[in-house]
A = this chain, B = another copy of it.
Amino acid sequence: MPGPTAPAADVRQEVRRMGLDDRKLAVLRAIVEDYVSTQEPVGSKALVERHQLGVSPATVRNDMAVLEEEGYIRQPHTSAGRVPTDRGYRLFVDRLSRVKPLSPAERRAIERFLVGAVDLDDVVHRTVRLLAQLTRQVAVVQYPSLARSSVRHLELVPISTTRLMLVMIADTGRVEQRLVELPGPVPADDVIDLRRLANEKLAGARLSDTPPLVQALVEEVPAELRPAMTTLSTVLLETLVERHEERIALAGTANLTRGGLLDFQGSLRPILEALEEEVVLLKLIGETEPSTTRVLIGDENEFDNLRAASVVSTGYGPGTTIVGGLGVLGPTRMDYPGTIATVRAVARYVGELLAQN
Interface residues of A (CB under 8 A from B): 118-120, 152-153, 155, 157, 159, 165, 167, 169, 173, 175, 177-179, 251-254, 256-257, 267-269, 272-273, 275-276, 357
Could you list 16 further interchain pairs (A-B, Cβ under 8 angstroms) beyond the known A155-B167, A268-B268? A119-B177, A119-B179, A152-B165, A153-B157, A155-B157, A157-B169, A165-B175, A169-B177, A173-B179, A179-B357, A251-B276, A252-B276, A253-B272, A253-B276, A256-B272, A257-B268
Inter-chain contacts of A179 with B (CB < 8 A): 118-119, 173, 357
- From residue A237, how far is it (CB to closest CB) to chain B in Å? 13
Instruction: Give the CA-CA distance A178 to B173 in the complex, in Å.
Output: 10
- If A118-B179, A167-B167 touch, whether A269 touches B254 (CB-CB below 8 Å) is yes
Complex Cα distance, B178 from A120, in Å, reads 9
Q: Given the complex of chains A and B, what is the CA–CA distance between A324 and B234 in angstroms?
A: 32
A155 to chain B, nearest CB (A): 5
CB distance B253 to A253 under 8 Å?
A: yes
A357 to B169, CA, bound (A): 22
Distance in Å: Cβ of A231 to nearest Cβ of chain B: 13
CA distance A152 to B163 in the complex (A): 13
Q: What CA separation (Å) do A167 and B178 show in the bound complex?
A: 14
User: Closest approach, in angstroms, between the C-beta of A243 and any C-beta of chain B?
Assistant: 15
Contact pick for A165, options B169, B267, B269, B276, CB 8 Å: B169
Which of B257, B273, B275 contacts A269, CB < 8 Å? B257
Whether A167 contacts B169 in the complex (CB less than 8 A), given A257-B269, A272-B257, comes out as: yes
A195 to chain B, nearest CB (A): 10
Cα A267 to Cα B254 with chains together (Å): 10
Can you show 25 pairs from A to B with CB atoms below 8 A apart? A118-B179, A119-B178, A119-B179, A152-B159, A152-B165, A153-B165, A155-B157, A159-B357, A165-B169, A167-B167, A167-B169, A169-B177, A173-B179, A175-B175, A175-B177, A179-B357, A251-B276, A253-B253, A253-B275, A253-B276, A254-B272, A254-B273, A254-B276, A257-B267, A257-B268
